[in-house]
Structure 1
Amino acid sequence: MKKQIDPSRRSGQSNKLEIAIGSQIRSFRKKMDLTIAELAHLANLSIGMLSKIENGNASPSLSTLQSLSDALNIPVTAFFRKYEERRDASFVRAGQGLVIERRGTRAGHAYQLLGHSVGKSISVEPYLITLTVESEVFPLFQHTGMEFLYMLEGKLLYLHGNKSYMLEPGDSLFFDADTTHGPEELVELPIRFLSVIVSPRFSE
């Protein structure tokens, strides 16, 4: 019989965030005395996928984490606590940000979460956004707080309210996020930019 290796002991430790999230999910599931099958059913996930997430072998999307938080009746931020409690700083190597799904996610459009504040009165979410495929229609975003964009590569026409801004490498844009905003035109591909969202964290 093949001996199962504890994911936390894998060489390289390249998926520490996934392991920490999976460990928290397993811990909360056991506290509620739920089997993997029962939690998978409540969260509308396959048993195999939930098992991979708990073992740190899969990166759950934001929508998946939301489904699990609803099923366990806990805030999404609770899944990150074990990871954040270990350090005062969050170090993410190139290409290893947590890939998440947002309204703009599609083929050629990648959103990577580079960190996440936990236990603070202010929520800070830094993203690296990469756009490599042309699109004619984009969803508009609207949420609480402020957002800061910094262009790294390419050329992008960005809409905020009723004004458009042409962003090139080195340009930045800082704005109220409660006004509709989002990409209006991909002028020069590939496009990469940083997006930092800062908002008050309401009591959970």
Structure 2
Amino acid sequence: MSDRVAKMQGAKRADRSEPPLSVVASDDEPYVTGSGAPAPAERRTLEQAIGLQIRHHRKQMGLTVAELAAAASVSTGMLSKIENGQISPSLTTLQTLATALNMPISLLFSEFEERRDCSYVPAGQGVVIQRRGTKVGHKYELLGHMLGGKVAVEPYLITLTEDAAPYTAFQHEGTELIYMLSGEVIYAHAGNSYHLKSGDSLLFDSGAPHGPERLVVKPMTYLSIIMYEKD
């Protein structure tokens, strides 16, 4: 075997032993959050938000573009552009359209001013509330609340003292997550029992009967997050 061939074969073997190149995401690729939730909708411009409100209320009243344009004394072409967010109408035009739609002009801006709630509660300042478990020594501290959205989220810090008693008749709509912080409990759900210690979690359909069945180590604390659709 010639020296040249030997060198070429040696180079090929060396290539096989080298680790594969790592793949680096480009700056254009979005970061992955690990959540299965869809990305938030792209924020609309003010013109688009106003146009959507006008179209929505026009259709609610059963009016065509031509009929609303005539009632507001604007051209059908202009109204079409307003509804599609292609132009920025004057306040006078918006007032005329709002009057024709029998609605306050402020309502045209409501879609653009959508709330993005955030609730901050300093340590030890959760709101103590009364619930069914209060009667058997369960203390509930509400850790925050959201005003907007279609889903209600109720996060509680629950403390069971030495005087607390078991209670397994909780039952309500929604989904609940329990995360143990301290102590131990046998927690019942839908006829099954789960031994929860610090760091353990339990996610379940809260429409089935549930609650602490046996208080193994007291006192105990755990987070309870309840989620359900608003009416």
TM-score bracket, shorter-length normalisation: 0.5 to 0.7
1:102 correspondence with 2:131: yes
User: For 2:188 and 2:136, how far apart are their aligned partners in 1?
Assistant: 22
**Deviation for aligned residue 1:140:** 1.1
Question: Cα 1:200–1:98, aligned 2, differ >3 Å: closer, same or farther?
Answer: same
Q: Is the 8 A contact 1:99 1:110 kept in 2?
A: yes
Q: 2:170 aligns with which of 133, 136, 141?
A: 141
User: Which of 84, 89, 100 in structure 1 is aligned with 2:118?
Assistant: 89
CA distance in 1, matches of 2:228, 2:194: 23
Runs of 4+ in 1 over 2 A off after TM superposition: 85-88, 106-109, 133-137
**Aligned partners of 2:164, 2:137: CA distance in 1, in Å?**
10
Q: What letter matches 2:128 in structure 1? A: V
Structure 1: 5+ residue stretches without partners: 1-84
- Whether 1:198 aligns to 2:227 is yes
Identity %: 53
CA contact (8 A) 1:104 1:139 kept: no
Instruction: Give, in angstroms, the shift of residue 125 of structure 1.
Output: 0.3
Query: 2:179: which partner in 1?
Result: 150
TM-score for both structures, normalised by structure 1: 0.54
Closer, same or farther in 2 for the Cα pair 1:115/1:200, shift >3 Å?
same
Q: How many residues align structurally?
A: 118
Structure 2 contact 178–222 (Cα < 8 Å) conserved: yes
Is 1:118–2:151 an aligned residue pair?
no
Q: Can you give the 5+ residue segments of structure 2 that lack an aligned partner in the other structure?
A: 1-113
Task: Write the distance in 2 (CA, Å) between the matches of 1:193 and 1:115.
Answer: 16
Q: Which has the larger radius of gyration?
A: 2
Normalising by structure 2, report the TM-score: 0.48
- The answer for the alignment partner of 1:184 in structure 2 is 213
